[in-house]
Amino acid sequence: MLQKPKGTYDVYGSYGIKILYLENLLHALMEKYHYEYVRTPIFEASELFHRGVGETTDIVSKETYDFVDRGDRNMTLRPEGTAGVVRSYIENKMYGNPSQPVKTWYIGPMYRYERPQSGRFREFYQFGVEVFGSEDPMIDAEVISIPVNFYRMLGLKEIKVNINSLGDQESRNAYRAALLEHFKPHLDALCEDCKTRYLKNPLRILDCKVDHDLECMKNAPKISDYLNETSRHHFEKVQHYLDALNIPYQVNPNVVRGLDYYTHTVFEVEANVQGFGSQNVLCGGGRYNHLVENIGGPSTPGVGFALGFERLLTALEFEQIELEKEHLDLYVIPMEEAVKSYAFALTQDLRMNGFSVDMDYMNRNLKGNFKQADRLNASYVIIIGTTEMENDILTIKNNQTQEEYKVKHEELISFLDEHIEEEHNE
């Protein structure tokens, strides 16, 4: 029997309902923030991710799905969303848009060849935000507020932001020199990956999951000691704006993120999820003021974040937070063969008038149909027999209260508008 590839999963049934609920909630939230939807290809030129994500990252060096297409071009399944959105920003000349900053959001599958484990897959689903054109630290705080408010809306508890600043290029160069000097006597104690990172990007050593308990890691220099005045001022203003939004945060010098393109603000958002262990991080992001330029566009500041659906749904499950269940306005029951066409046409008419409707396609008996209506969480049931069809008077039953109504066909829409709206308001 053919099976799905390792590290992937099928979306169906109640899990599919949860996914759609999250998508719809995020779509509505982005409308409130006035961000625009963007979608980029699932595969792009390998060079984009090598230049954008960074050669020294684990993503590019170990985890990308690379292939050569039939035109002998090197292609890569996107491992993250930012590089593709930046490429789109440049290619479509969004920097020329008179309405600035350009604020975008995306949602879709990403691909990384890593060891599958709880909450981690080789094909995974991400929602992300990217903002281009503004260096104002207020936009950093706005971007951070999006996942914070989203998690609060879902009912997750004790949402907290861990923030840090990597500073501008001058600050990073000074910090890089300090890290090289600090780790030089300890190279033999570091893992092979960190030995490679030492020369290519020593900041990545601080993000190592293998060596994090070493004494040399614990007493490594802090970036805060190497921030110049410009970087320090930017970081202080970000904190000021987070205070204005009443968003709790903690300055955490260990937050460096795993991608090469970050400058200034980096952050992670976590929730107090019982049973999740010490790693409660649900999303992360930061500012990248040189990425657009590095990929071939004009010098443009940017800031963004991404969150994964799989880890979020696991957190909601641990916290026993129920998302919206499947709901149906109406379930139509044709009692006999002679009324099926009438019931079928009625079902279509109700759908075109804005109601969610299903009907019996399995020739169940009445008892079986009421069980199906319960499974579908239908608000009302419409029962159609020969008498109802000939008289054009329908029997409608409230599936919760069991109250029955006789309604003329021509008055059905106004009846349902009144009763279903009343139920939604309750």
pLDDT tens digits for range 365-384: 999 999 999 999 999 999 99
Banded pLDDT at 51 (limits 50, 70, 90): confident
Tokens coding 274: 């019982």
- 303 and 348 share one domain: no
More confident residue, 345 or 422: 345
Which residue did the predictor score with more confidence, 276 or 367? 367
Closest CA to 221 of 260, 186, 251, 254: 254
Residue 153 covered by a domain? yes
What φ, ψ does residue 192 adopt, rounded to 5°? -60, -40
Q: Is the pLDDT of residue 276 over 90?
A: no
At 225-245, the pLDDT tens digits run 899 999 999 999 999 999 999
* Structural domain includes residue 43: yes
Looking only at the bridges linking them, the beta strands covering 328-334 and 404-408 are unpaired
384 and 244 both lie in a single domain: no
Is the per-residue pLDDT at 425 higher than 60? no
Asked whether residue 234 is assigned to any structural domain, the reply reads yes
Question: What integer best gives the mean pLDDT of the chain?
Answer: 91
Asked whether the predicted pLDDT for residue 426 surpasses 60, the reply is no
**Ordered alpha helix ranges (H), 119-200:** 137-154, 169-183, 192-200
pTM for this predicted structure? 0.89
Q: Choose between 110 and 274: higher pLDDT.
A: 110
Question: Do 101 and 245 sit in the same domain of this protein?
Answer: yes
In the block, tokens 């490429």 appear at: 87
Mean pLDDT (whole number) for 258-277:
83
Tell me which residue range forms the domain holding 377. 328-425
pLDDT at 137 over 60: yes
Q: 65-70 long-range contacts, Cβ below 8 Å, gap at least 24?
A: 65/111, 65/112, 65/113
Check residue 55 and give its pLDDT: 63
CATH number for the domain that contains residue 47: 3.30.930.10
What pLDDT is stored for residue 121 in this prediction? 92
In a domain, 197, yes or no: no
The answer on 25 and 60 residing in a single domain is yes
- Look at residue 56 in the predicted model and tell me its pLDDT: 57
The residue from 318, 353, 378 where one domain ends is 318
Taking 90 as the threshold, does the pLDDT of residue 339 lie above it?
Answer: yes
Q: Render pLDDT for 163-183 as a digit per residue (tens, 0 to 9).
A: 999 999 898 888 888 888 888
Q: Where residue 206 falls among pLDDT bands split at 50, 70, 90?
A: confident
Least confident of 44-48, 122-126, 193-197: 193-197
Number of domains forming the structure of the chain = 2
Residue 398 maps to a domain: yes
Q: Which of 261, 286, 318 is the last residue of a domain?
A: 318
Confidence of residue 158 (pLDDT cuts 50, 70, 90): confident
Does residue 150 sit in the same domain as residue 244?
A: yes
Q: What type of residue sits at position 137? A: P
pLDDT at 118 over 80: no
- C-alpha to C-alpha distance for 19 and 111, rounded to whole angstroms: 18
Rg of the chain over all Cα atoms, to the nearest angstrom? 27
pLDDT tens column, 54-76: 665 666 767 899 999 999 999 99
Q: What is the pLDDT of residue 117?
A: 76
Quote the pLDDT of residue 207.
73
Residue 224 clears pLDDT 90, i.e. is over it:
no
DSSP type of residue 213: T
Q: Which of 11-20, 110-119, 398-407 has the lowest mean pLDDT?
A: 110-119
Which residue, 272, 290, 318, sits at the end of a domain? Answer: 318
Residues 300-327, mean pLDDT to the nearest whole number: 91
Average pLDDT over residues 400-408: 95
Q: Which pLDDT score, from 0 to 100, does residue 73 have?
A: 96
Comparison of pLDDT for 52 and 130, the residue scoring more: 130
d(CA 283, CA 197): 24
180 part of a folded domain: no
Q: How sure is the predictor about 107, in pLDDT bands with cuts at 50, 70 and 90?
A: very high
Percent of the chain with pLDDT over 70: 95
| Judgement on whether residues 235 and 354 belong to the same structural domain of the protein | no
269 and 338 within one domain: no
Residue 114: band (very low, low, confident or very high) from pLDDT cuts 50, 70, 90: confident
Closest CA to 287 of 170, 142, 77, 179: 142
* Residue scoring higher pLDDT (86 or 118): 86
Q: Tell me how many helices (H) and strands (E) the chain has.
A: 15, 16
Inside any domain, residue 366: yes
Whether 280 and 406 map to the same domain: the answer is: no
CA distance 96 to 76: 29
Residues 244 and 343 both lie in one domain: no
**Does residue 35 sit in the same domain as residue 88?**
yes
On whether both 242 and 290 belong to a single domain, the answer is yes
Tell me which amino acid residue 333 is: I
CB-based contact 386:341 (threshold 8 Å): no
Residue 200 is assigned to a structural domain of this protein:
no
pLDDT tier, 199 (very low <50, low <70, confident <90, very high otherwise)? confident
Domain containing 402 — which CATH number? 3.40.50.800
Cα(17)–Cα(10) distance, integer angstroms: 13
In this predicted structure, the answer to whether residue 269 has a pLDDT above a threshold of 80 is yes
Q: Residue 189 — very low, low, confident or very high, per pLDDT cuts 50/70/90?
A: confident
Asked if residue 123 and residue 63 are part of one domain, the reply reads yes
